[in-house]
Chain A
Amino acid sequence: MAPRMGLGRKKRKAPPLDEFGGTADGGLAIIDETGHLVHMTPPRIAGALRYFLARVQLHDAQGMPERLALTSALIGEGVTYITRSLAAAIAYDTDASVVIVDCTFRRPVAEERKDKRGRSAKSPSAPRIESSDGQPDGQLPPPDTNGATAEAPRHLTLADAIENDASLDDIIIETSNPRLSMVQAGAVPVARRPALAQGRPLASLLDQLDERFDHVLLDLPPVLASSDAMNLSQLADAYVLVVRQGSTSEGQVEAALDELQGGETLGVILNRFDSNIPRRLRRLVGT
């Protein structure tokens, strides 16, 4: 299978993939039904997440939760990347079906343009809040951007299903791996998000997804950047906090955990770990 690259991304030679999106060296890819490469997980990262899976399945009495939320304290810690990589690993390595539900709603285009005009009038270089996958742009595939641009408008979204009664079948995006599906968040005005996150339609929709899939992975917005994460995390059986090494402070992690107090913590995934200590010394210290 020769996957096509996502929109607006530099095309690269993709590694040969098997029919489920795996590479010979252990890497994992998510390719949508149109053949676009949505996400690529390098072998090292896939290996780390396989360790996560084995650990949760072997050591935890309940195994992998049916509905697992992944969130972080701050923007750019790699929640989307980890969610997609974890989903790819579950779908590829086990016979369980999994769906990624992107819960990071975009702002409607009109609202965003209006806001952009306002900001550019004040300061042209004002920072934009946008989702990030936490891993570098320079790796094999085009990094995903929370589904905002790469897999754009062909599919209806979670927002459509909640607000416009779109059917579940219409919002589910199939991938090359029949056990892996995706649901995009869609655009919702900021003011309506709290109601949506706490509303019955979303819970009902997730219940329907539960019935169809073995695991539902919720890709949540950062806890300290949005109040949505607190409400959305209550919809999951457990949550995992993604922490980017050398970026998130202990205080921020503590604040995020305080915000998520109502939910059950499965643990932490330390993302983008890069030790500066020479390997020999690391071995000597015993890490």
Chain B
Amino acid sequence: MAASKRNLPVPAGSTGAIRASRRTRLNADTSAEPEGLTRRVVLNFLEAFFRRPWLHLLPLILMLALGAASGFSTKQEFTSTGTITAESSTVIGDLTQSNNQGFNFDTPATVVARNINELLRTTNFLNVVAGKLQADATDSQKALLREVIAKDVGAGADGDQLVRISSTSERADLSFRLADAVIRSYVETVKANNIAQSDQAVQFFQAQVAEADTARKAAQAQLDKFLVDNGLTEAVQIPAQQQQQINNLQADVDRAESQYDAKLDSLDQAKLASNSAATEVDQRLRVTDPPEQPEAPQPRLKSAVLKLAVFGVLGLLLSLASVIVAATLDRTIRVPGDITAKFDLDVLAVVPDARAR
């Protein structure tokens, strides 16, 4: 016989009243406020990870292995470094008023380092360097050397005035020769450019002076001719009208004289600059520490650790991505918060799996 119904406290209202008010939240602790959302997302990610931890750790492990293999299997490398001191002004530059090297906001070292790196991307400069490395190189050898130089050599600023030109190679002698050739080629290129520019300036001003001289002579000739034609060479009293013409012609002569003098000054300046161009470059770019042939290879541990760290970070990102993908693709209910957030329903009980630990 079934148990008879007991007189338990019966809720007020009919069944309909119960139905009308049932769908109220029983407890507020599972609400979907932003904090709850964060926790739910974190829990879902953690659930996704711990469901298949080794699968998600696999990218990290593989990348670490790859990084270790790559870091510790690299061949030994030698680095040779030379240092150039770059000045923004020189004594000769001050004297010849040619100290305008474009160091406006950048430091001299930055400009020179950038200039070297830019030149290392030009075939002409690389050919110059290749010629210093191997004078009798064929075209194909030069092409190979150009590739090696562009790959292995680089310049960087160290402070305001120091520029370090480094070359890294598997051979100690090659690294030294590369750095040395690049430094010498750079200084020579700058020097040649300066001299060429100065010579062009001299030629330009020479032409200008010749023109001014011709103009000066022509003006003087006109004045002389006027005086002779009018018999005024020895006259004491010159009529006012003729005096006015003489004054005008004399002014032309004076103007031509002054232009001639100015051009002559510029020519002198250009000649001075041309003569001092090589010396000025020597003063502005001084090879402070010439490169030396390295005796020992670069320590590999640092680069290996760096590679390991880079690969480790990549692996970590991949592992993280796999967890995020797994958590995003899994649309099943994993945590109670999924129900409260998605359906605004109360989770009345979380019944554990009997087989669970």
Contacts and interface: CB of A to CB of B under 8 A. Distances in A.
B54 to A, nearest CB: 12
Contacts, number: 186
A82 B342 CA distance: 23
B354 A60 contact: no
Given A249-B332, A273-B351, A268 B346 contact: yes
A286 to B, nearest CB: 7
Interface size class of A (residues with CB under 8 A): 35 or more
A32 to B, nearest CB: 14
B5 interface: yes
Interface string A79-123: 000100100000000011101000000000000000000000000
B92 interface: no
Interface in A174-192: 174, 178-179, 181
B2 A174 contact: yes
Given A61-B21, A240-B348, A253-B333, A97 B50 contact: no
Main secondary structure of the interface of A (DSSP, over half): mixed
B50 to A, nearest CB: 4
B2 A267 contact: no
B6 A265 contact: no
B51 A264 contact: no
Interface stretch (A2-10, A44-52, A155-163): A44-52
B28 to A, nearest CB: 10
B2 A274 contact: no
B354 A45 contact: yes
B351 A285 contact: no
Given A248-B333, A266-B348, A243 B43 contact: no
A23 interface: no
Interface string B1-15: 111111011010101
Given A237-B18, A269-B350, A286-B39, 5 more contacts: A48-B349, A213-B2, A248-B332, A267-B347, A276-B47
Interface of B: 1-6, 8-9, 11, 13, 15, 18-19, 21-24, 26-27, 39, 42-43, 46-47, 50-51, 331-336, 338-339, 342-343, 345-356
